[in-house]
Structure 1
Amino acid sequence: MQLIHTLSATQFDEVYRYLAQRSYWSKGIDKSLLKRALQHSLCFALVDGKQLLAFGRVVTDHATFANLLDVFVLEQYRGQGLGKKLIDAVMTHPDLQTLRRFTLATKDAHGLYQQFGFTPIADPNIAMEKYVASIYAV
């Protein structure tokens, strides 16, 4: 197993299928939109040979801020510690060592992220968002 930062066309298609069809957060996302998003992100993929096992990406200025997105382990590879390996690779990446703020949103993986120092927002009064839940709805 190895960590890669650039996906092959086949691996991109697997990421797209997962996000567009099985994820709760970007179901229905357009393929060209996802391709553009990944081009502007720091991507992390665990692979075995050419087979994608897990994926995540970070949107960052590489200095002070980052947001972790689109993290998943393919169903057949869950329960093997791959989520921890993937997040460890993200958290130890050299470009992400000077961040003042590192954010993420999760509905169901709080325990995983807490192991890497993530906590609820320290002061929810300073956080705002513009969220369009149904933007990818078909």
Structure 2
Amino acid sequence: MSWLRHGFEINTDKSKLDKEAILRMLRATYWASEVPADDLWESILNSRAYGLYSPDGEQAGFARVVTDGTRFAWLSDIYILPVHRGQGLGKWLIETVISDPAIARVHRLVLSTNDAHELYKVHGFDTLKGEEADKMMQLLR
């Protein structure tokens, strides 16, 4: 699938992804800096990937979703290159991901962030509270 806005494109075609640019982007983040490059790339290949491309074709951003397509999805690795920030591209990327027909009917869409709560709240995300928060568990390896 492909979406266009102001010369930028979001595309789910994995063959268009710039592997080196994406790995460089993600290695600069607090959440993926310690993850081996091969593991990062394998996680992308096993997910629904959204490449964001500038008008000149540069890999300007990225997001991915791990999902079963109906009941659960995990939104992850959302990134916009610093040179392209401040143009609403992050908002557009999130809007596109959650409205993508492959994701739009998923019942529970979750994510984790240290610092972008307000960005996600605009799109309907909220922090888990009370009983919902108490139900969530994890196994870290």
TM-score, normalised via structure 1 length: 0.87
Contact 1:19 1:26 in 2 (8 A): yes
| Equivalent position of 1:89 in the other structure | 96
| Equivalent position of 1:5 in the other structure | 12
CA RMSD of aligned residues (A): 1.6
Distance of 1:13 and 1:130 partners within structure 2: 30
| Equivalent position of 2:136 in the other structure | 127
Q: Name which structure has the greater RCO, CA cutoff 8 Å, separation 6+.
A: 1
Cα offsets for 1:60-84 (capped at 9, x unmatched):
0011100000011111111110000
| Equivalent position of 1:36 in the other structure | 42
122-131 vs 39-48, which moves further? 122-131
Residue 34 of structure 1: CA displacement?
1.6
Distance of 1:99 and 1:9 partners within structure 2: 26
Distance of 1:78 and 1:59 partners within structure 2: 25
Cα offsets for 1:97-135 (capped at 9, x unmatched):
221211000011101100111001142110011235xxx
Kindly tell me: are residues 59 and 118 of structure 1, through their superposed partners in 2, closer, same or farther at Cα, counting changes over 3 Å? Answer: same
Distance of 2:91 and 2:104 partners within structure 1: 18
Residue 47 of structure 1: CA displacement?
0.2
TM-score, normalised via structure 2 length: 0.86
Cα offsets for 1:24-78 (capped at 9, x unmatched):
0010322221221111100112102320111110000011100000011111111
| Equivalent position of 1:19 in the other structure | 26
Q: How does 1:34-113 map to 2 (within 5 A)?
A: 34-48=40-54, 49-113=56-120
| Equivalent position of 1:116 in the other structure | 123
Q: How many residues align?
A: 131
Mind listing any 5+ residue stretches in structure 1 that lack a counterpart?
Answer: 133-138
Matched residues, percent identical?
Answer: 31
**Which aligned segments of 4 or more residues in structure 1 are displaced greater than 4 angstroms?**
7-10
Contact 1:58 1:66 in 2 (8 A): yes
